Structure 1
């Protein structure tokens, strides 16, 4: 059984029905995002309460609302010591609303916290640009069965960040305020507990400041308060996203199994293009598998890391497939169907993926046991991050430039071959080959469209996550109404892979060989069940260079 691929033998009527059905499904993915899905993320804002702790943290007790000796006006408070360790900033998450105590749900998937430092202008305590600020942070959690103030420690750390602030000339007077950038504080890969408590101290070592003014907390100016902004994934979006993935997983799995059986029954070894489609389908099945359901009942702090690795795997296989898909229709018989001929092309993808993998493993990996860690918080970590992003960006640009070049060459080859050869043959044969060409053009256009939206979705997601860590955390891309874009792109990627699995599977019809469409002069395709193999499909045979 191998009379070419399904795309070559499927009737126009059946092909139209399939495409129309998939188009309706694609529209449905967008409409579900528009009608039913809330925005991907939401935020809560907390004005951190400043409390006085006479033990200066030596007791190890948690400072919470019921034990807080609140400092009404921080700028007027006179500490009893120079290190300011008796001042504690607290925030209980989530806060109460209308007298009702809210709680976090596992449906929120992740929790991210950014800190707004409020600095007043002062002639005595001057802020110096690029000042280092060091925070002693403790995060505790409480479960439903625990008593009201029975907090257990989740993580503790000394956090060092760079404080960047600006002030207008007219505000350079007592009472004027600086405009400071947001600081990354924490990121939790799962929302495992209903309540959290954050205690922050900003100690100052006066002796160290005398010897070296650039030491942490020596040049941060006059603090007037802290504001914590917590961001989480909306539970409604998580529910819709999980049900979408749950629905698609068995469909993709069934199509993948059907495709595997088709190529496994061939009398020859699978072609490189067939194997590439198989691996692409497998990576999509891994991406679609809704492992997030487990996080609703079990604590999975590594969920963000796993999600990033699955997405990275899919993108790596998808980008590799696009090169092979275009390249298999250009190279001659001496190099076709050989992965080694793509070593140079695939090196861009491998280097870019490897650089981003290193960055992700450092960032997400360390956050598994220290949620306050940020790769950007240290000079060495920042250099690693910049190098990784720079290398991946250069390789990505080179890759897409090369991919565009190959797609243009494929298009040009089709045009030249058709004008040079197609109309020199019989009418019946010309119509058959024209059908193959139009179907291939449809797949190529769909590939370009899918590539564009996939790349756009990837960069918009990265941009949205950067906004969550920056000054646009409250009104960023991911906290806006963008659910339809993500559900639509998710549906398009699935539909694209399903089309490839269906259209490039070996056909169940038995022909003398798909190459007959061009290489033979017969007007009819002759059935011959005894011939069970073909070396290439009609499109690749048509596009291969002439050996005459």
Structure 2
């Protein structure tokens, strides 16, 4: 049987592509005009409280008042030698116009950061990098326990690296250092409506006199401590969930239909057909709206599962592009096996393995300890840099090889078409030219999809940088709405691209009467054109009665 893309009339193909173009535009406009920005944040100027009995566990809160407030740290005399009586408090979320607001499972995740305000003092210079130790206690309340006691969520000591700098012209007493915010925690699910943070910075003057590198000995007196909480917008989650609920049934049926078509063939599957099938399944897995589970379960693993699904789709997509381009370069059926792509597959495997190990070491461990960070120690930071650098280099090399293969495919098709196909009769020439044009169109679509995928990846990295910036107000940049539009555009393009492959490269049920005459005339030419039955383009040119 021939493929659908071969037997589809130009008019029907035009209608299908026009419909896909309208749907693709709708994805972008839907995200840009109706969806809010992906994330929001709240700043909390942490309240400083005095604990008269720090050795007895107790909660310090703001609402209702459960804090003996310290107005100025500069004039405060610690009650204990290790200054554990000083507690920094953040109660999340804020009240708004005396109305209690709460976190929702729609927020999906919560990222916490700390920002230090430290004044320059020529008598106590601050090192560019210092390790600080924090005693962190996090509690939560449910809606039913609004007026009750806080329930302890986590209680542990953590170490972080504080990086601060100051311009030469600002080295005057009273000016402030520019300190990078430090990551505090990341919750993989917002399963509770209210949270409370109690943070202490223990330090012993006696220990500091004996060892200047003892915990917090190099941490100067700071004026303010600000906690920044970042979460996914509930409105963005709703839009994303609706899109998945809409496309999931279509993708599921397309996978079923494609599988049925290739199972009807009285031959083994070609490698490119297996790759398309794997791509369709990975897209289907990515489209599963598992976000619904956040409303019926308290599993914190859903965010990690989401990242794993995204990574799986990227891997299968990269492998498919490799096979799709490479299957048109091998002669005599030599390319119909993964062994011929071992170099490129090694690059994909290296990049994927590096990103997977990093994800497991960072977000995987945060399932049990949300205050864990691979960047907290020098060794962890070094390994993180090594993993990400190796993975990035492998990804760049893969893209270079892929670009080279795409250019080579175009040159090969052009050369062999001019050498062999143009010497054929008009009927055959018209047929083959039409198929080659459609193949080139799909290659262009593949290249566009590749660039959009790469742009989406870098956009995500830029978004991570923005999340770690020092936000000073609740305003959101205008560009973020268009960022949402680009994310929905990329999601729509992935689905449409996979749907197009499943629909156009499935074996057709049609038999046209002239196929036997036409193919008997060109069988020999086609065998020479691209060496065997495994190539995707040759699949389109094979006898429909086969």
TM-score (norm 1): 0.92
Q: What is the Cα deviation at residue 160 of structure 1? A: 1.0
- 1:512–1:330 Cα change, 3 Å: farther
Aligned to 1:166: 165
Taking a change above 3 Å as real, the CA distance of residues 513 and 351 of structure 1, as seen in their structure-2 partners, is farther
Aligned to 2:480: 480
Aligned equivalent of 1:60, options 35, 50, 57? 57
Query: What's the counterpart of residue 526 of structure 2?
Result: none
- Residue of structure 1 in register with 2:192 after alignment: 193
Q: CA deviation at 1:433?
A: 0.5
What residue is the counterpart of 2:10 in the other structure?
A: 12
Of the structure 1 ranges 335-344 and 397-406, higher mean CA displacement relative to structure 2 is found in 335-344
SS state at 1:480 partner: helix
Residue 212 of structure 1, CA deviation = 2.5
Residue 519 of structure 1: how far off its partner (Å): 6.8
Cα deviation, residue 517, structure 1: 5.9
Residues 458 and 111 (structure 1 numbering): CA distance in 2 closer, same or farther, change over 3 Å?
same
Partners of 1:253 and 1:160 in 2: how far apart? Answer: 47
2:363 aligned residue: 364
The CA distance in 2 between the partners of 1:102 and 1:260, in whole Å, is 49
Match of 1:28 in 2: 26
The Cα offsets for residues 125-160 of structure 1, whole Å up to 9 and x where unpaired, read as 432221111111111100000142511011122121
Distance in 1, matches of 2:83 and 2:514, equals 84
Deviation at 1:476, TM superposition (A): 8.4
Cα displacement string for residues 445-491 of structure 1 (whole angstroms, at most 9, x for unaligned residues):
00000000011101211221233134469788899221101111100
1:160-189 Cα deviation digits (max 9, x unpaired): 111111223444344322111110011000
1:541 CA displacement: 7.1
Distance in 2 separating the partners of 1:224 and 1:472 = 18
CA contact (8 A) 2:52 2:79 kept: no
* Structure 1 residues 242-267: Cα deviation after superposition (integer angstroms, max 9, x where no partner): 01001111100000000000001110
Query: Structure 1 residues 538 and 406, CA, compared in 2 at 3 Å: closer, same or farther?
Result: closer
Q: Is the 8 A contact 2:272 2:536 kept in 1?
A: no
Unaligned runs of 5+ in 1: 523-533
Partner SS, residue 230 of structure 1: strand
Inter-partner Cα distance in structure 1 for 2:504 and 2:11: 14
2:308 maps to 309
Instruction: Write the deviation string for residues 305-342 of structure 1: whole angstroms up to 9, x where unpaired.
Output: 11110000000000000000000111112412112111
CA distance in 2: counterparts of 1:399 and 1:513, whole angstroms: 43
- Map Cα deviations across residues 268-298 of structure 1 (whole Å, 9 max, x no partner): 0111000000000000000010001010221
1:508 aligns to what? 509
Does the Cα contact within 8 Å between 1:112 and 1:230 map onto a contact in 2?
A: yes
CA drift at 1:118:
1.3
Q: CA deviation digits over 1:42-98, x for unaligned, max 9? A: 010100000000112x11111112220000111121212332110000000001111
Q: Indicate if the aligned counterparts of 2:121 and 2:173 stay in contact, CA closer than 8 A.
A: yes
Per mean C-alpha deviation after superposition, the further-off stretch among 337-346 and 193-202 is 337-346
1:492 equivalent in structure 2: 493
Structure 2 SS opposite 1:70: coil
Aligned partner of 2:117 in structure 1 is: 118
> What's the C-alpha RMSD, in Å, of the aligned pairs?
2.3
SS in 1 for 2:71: coil
Partner of 1:49: 47
Q: Distance in 2 between matches of 1:153 and 1:305?
A: 24
Asked if the contact 2:5–2:540 (Cα under 8 Å) also holds between the matched residues in 1, the reply is: no
Counterpart position of 1:154? 153
Q: How does 1:442-481 map to 2 (within 5 A)?
A: 442-471=441-470, 480-481=480-481
Shift of 1:211: 2.7
Question: Where do 1:114-513 residues align within 5 Å?
Answer: 114-471=113-470, 480-481=480-481, 482-510=483-511
- Is the CA contact (8 Å cut-off) linking 1:515 and 1:536 kept in structure 2? no
C-alpha spacing 1:543/1:262, structure 2 compared with 1 (3 Å): closer
Q: Which residue of 2 aligns with 1:531?
A: none
What is the TM-score with the length of structure 2 in the denominator?
0.93
Pair 1:178–1:413, CA change in 2 (3 A): same
CA-to-aligned-CA distance 1:205-243 (integer Å, 9 cap, x gap): 223322331233111222112101111111111001001
Cα distance in 1 between the residues matched to 2:522 and 2:71: 94
Does the 8 Å CA contact 1:122/1:221 hold for their aligned counterparts?
Answer: no
Residues 6, 541 of structure 2: 8 Å contact kept: no
1:123 Cα deviation after fit? 4.2
1:514 and 1:29 map into 2 onto residues whose CA distance is 40
